[in-house]
Amino acid sequence: MSVLPLQALPIELLRQRSSTKWRSYGDDVIPMFVAETDYPLAPAITAALHRAVEIGDTGYTPPRPGIDLDFADFAERRWGWRPDPSRIRWTGDVMMGVVEVLRGVTSPGDRVIVTPPVYPPFYDTVEEAGAVVERIPLIDDGARWHLDLDSIEAALAGGARAVLLCNPHNPTGTVHSRESLAALARLAHRYGASVISDEIHAPLTHAPAVFTPFLDAGDEAAAVGYIVTSASKTYNLAGLKCAVIVTGAEETAAVVRALPWEVEWRAGLFGVIANRAAFSAESDRWLASLLLALDDNRRLLADLLAEHLPLARYRVPEAGFLAWVDVSAYCWGDNPAPFIRREAQVALHHGPLFGVEGIGHVRINVGCAPEVLREAIERIGRLVDSV
């Protein structure tokens, strides 16, 4: 049976949601800023949560909730890589996991490399762990973005203790190649550093791009790496707290086992139930349908920008539902998002929050109905003639 693109929920139903996306602005604003999507939940998730409510299964998360086996099965189906379930732990969300791993592998004042433009909480997370951010921007060669391995090596040689990697990258949608990940792992291994890889967007990789889990990029990667990920971005489960921390060697697994016991207790029972249902084979067809819808929208955005904002610069992302768009040619300021929200009633994410590389940029969430995306870009396009 063929799979069709997933249909977004009607806008009037979405406006009944109480989440950040739908409660930050009034009904006159199209919200396309925060990374929430507008689709119905995967049926397996709905059924699992409904059953939990029906029987009052609202207590504490058990000591062995089973998500380790479910994630291992999911990774094997999706990427041909099966992590050892005994080296999979859990916590409340990806950033919680990242900060705890950073605390485990760095000391106060140590430098941690980030690769901007990058997800804004990366900066805060490094500081929360007591470390210091070292910025090494991605290289834009005009066709795609790459890790600046030469500069990363110089920083590691100069004493940086960890790399906080975004794989796939947010906001650019870059899927780092196996070769670049292996090269990064060799550098980290050579200089005794760690790599913490946020892989929350991995299930949303669009063909022909191929996602490589960092721990599967070679022996050195398994020795130095930590993956922190969740079903929450793909399956729109941010409000249900659960993420997994994955290691590939006994030494790194020992670091995670040594974390305070409450790190695992932060995973909510509904989060575990929902993530397990998401990672199950029952949800694979839903994911295939979602990927078709997102693929259509990432390409539709290119057409809409060409028609309504021809000076905008946009590279179709290799993964995810977030689009990184340079609108600096329109002279709407270093941070165009507030102007666009005020004048066009479209809320986009603020580019400069991702780093100085985001000046003149906005991030657009395309995880919505095509007609919503079309209306949003048409609204913004009308500003070109009015200013």
Q: Which residue has the tokens 């196996």?
A: 178
pLDDT digits (tens, 9 = 90+) for 267-296: 999 999 999 999 999 999 999 999 999 999
Other CB atoms within 10 Å distance of the CB of residue 280: 16
pLDDT digits (tens, 9 = 90+) for 321-371: 999 999 999 999 999 999 999 999 999 999 999 999 999 999 999 999 999
Among the listed residues 276, 267, 278, 270, the one whose alpha carbon sits nearest the alpha carbon of residue 96: 267
Q: Do the beta carbons of residue 373 and residue 300 sit within 8 Å?
A: yes
pLDDT at 387: 55
pTM across the whole model: 0.97
Cβ burial, residue 289 (10 Å; 0-12/13-18/19+): middle
The candidate with the shortest Cα–Cα distance to 35, out of 227, 178, 166, 150, is 166
Give the pLDDT score at 131: 98
Pairing of strands 194-198, 313-314: unpaired
**Which CATH fold would you assign to the domain 46-283?**
Aspartate Aminotransferase; domain 2 (3.40.640)
Hey, what CATH class is 11-40+284-386 in?
Answer: alpha beta
Read off φ and ψ for residue 165, nearest 5 degrees. Answer: -100, 145
User: Please, where in the chain does CATH 3.90.1150.10 lie?
Assistant: 11-40+284-386
Q: What is the pLDDT along the chain (387 residues), one digit of tens a residue?
A: 689 999 999 999 999 999 999 999 999 999 999 999 999 999 999 999 999 999 999 999 999 999 999 999 999 999 999 999 999 999 999 999 999 999 999 999 999 999 999 999 999 999 999 999 999 999 999 999 999 999 999 999 999 999 999 999 999 999 999 999 999 999 999 999 999 999 999 999 999 999 999 999 999 999 999 999 999 999 999 999 999 999 999 999 999 999 999 999 999 999 999 999 999 999 999 999 999 999 999 999 999 999 999 999 999 999 999 999 999 999 999 999 999 999 999 999 999 999 999 999 999 999 999 999 999 999 999 999 765
Distances (CA, A) of 157 to 99, 115, 187, 356: 23, 17, 9, 25
